[in-house]
Amino acid sequence: MTAVKRSAEGDTHEAAAVAKKAMAAVPVPTNKTMPTDYSFLAPAPDDCYKIVTYNVNSLSAACKKGFKEYVAAEDPDVLCLQETKANQPMAFLMSKARYPHQLWHCSKAKKGYSGTAVFSKLKPLAVKYGFNADSMDDEGRLISVEFDTFHLVACYVPNAGEKLVRLDRRLRWDKCMRAHLATLEETKPVIYTGDLNVAHCAVDLARPDSNKRSAGFTIEERESFTATLAGADYPRADAFRQLHPAARADAYTYFGYRANCREKSVGWRLDYFVVSQPLIPRVADVVVRNQCYGASDHVPLVLFLRRRDASSDTAPADEPSENADDEAKDSSKADPASSTDDE
């Protein structure tokens, strides 16, 4: 019996090694247009929610390049968008029957700039736009959504800019965000997601040596992100790196349009799911949809979150609305998506 068990374990380890080698041999996609076949997108396991974050680099433009087809195929429970560049909610973008909860935060600073949106099948308990009233967010960069067992903070972090002209603003933003996350974590754990505009480690971009003073890879921004992960009272984890510590080119989520970056696999990992420590047991996987390039200069990032802690017998109450049509009618009374005004 022991010999048989050892043999089986040996076969398992050997099979895992072969699978790992095979995955390493698969080239990173270099397509420049969105796929026409999405059969490779597996549905979320029955015990998981599927949460997607995606910088669309202009939602109206992305819709002409395959964005809607991708979302229909992916079918996430929650979809977080950044850089929508929308001046007002796009009321007919998503069916209310499919996503009864549609949240928009548009830039007040200037038109056609920045902007975030969240589409959810799960019913929020509360929604907050930006930080506090006296904060620095007038560019529509932040939507915080409270669900039954976690807070979702969907964010488009400011870029430090060419020649780092906005680096100080960026670092102030990070400080505000740490305070915001800590306040939320006093009640329940947080998923902090979006285009966080930082490549945390050298492995997170193709050319670290030549980008040490480039926006997104300065030591100041990287140390600031380290401080966000550390948390003063509530430690957090970079969920992708927790599960995939050695991933490199297959981890990149951004490929600039210039100099054939996509074709050369010259990319950056700028999009994240940062989770409070209590949520780590519920993270089943984080997947870079690196095949899904072309609607934007970013690719989507997918979090598979278990509906409950594997060690717990109690299922959380975060569930899709049972009657989406009724929810759609109710939510139109207070949902910002029903308004034609900017947030």
User: Which has the closest alpha carbon to 300: 195, 217, 216, 202?
Assistant: 195
DSSP state of 34: -
Q: Point out the annotated binding site.
A: 55, 83, 195, 197, 297-298
DSSP state of 72: H
Q: Centre a 10 Å sphere on the Cβ of residue 324 and count the other Cβ atoms it contains.
A: 18
Tokens of 323: 């009657």
Tokens of 178: 């740490």
Side by side, which strands form the sheet with 283-288?
101-105, 116-120, 78-82, 48-55, 301-306, 283-288
Q: Point out the annotated binding site for Mg(2+).
A: 55, 83, 195, 197, 297-298
At 18 the three-state DSSP class reads helix
Q: How far is CA 49 from CA 68, 147, 285, in A?
A: 20, 13, 11
The type of residue at 291 is Q
Tokens of 299: 């690719």
Q: φ and ψ at 176, to 5 degrees?
A: -60, -40
Question: Contact 152/185 with Cβ under 8 angstroms?
Answer: no
Among all chains, which residue has been given the structure tokens 């030591």?
Answer: 219
At 91 the three-state DSSP class reads coil
d(CA 129, CA 137): 9
d(CA 153, CA 181): 8
Tokens of 145: 């959504």
Active-site amino acid positions: 156, 195, 298
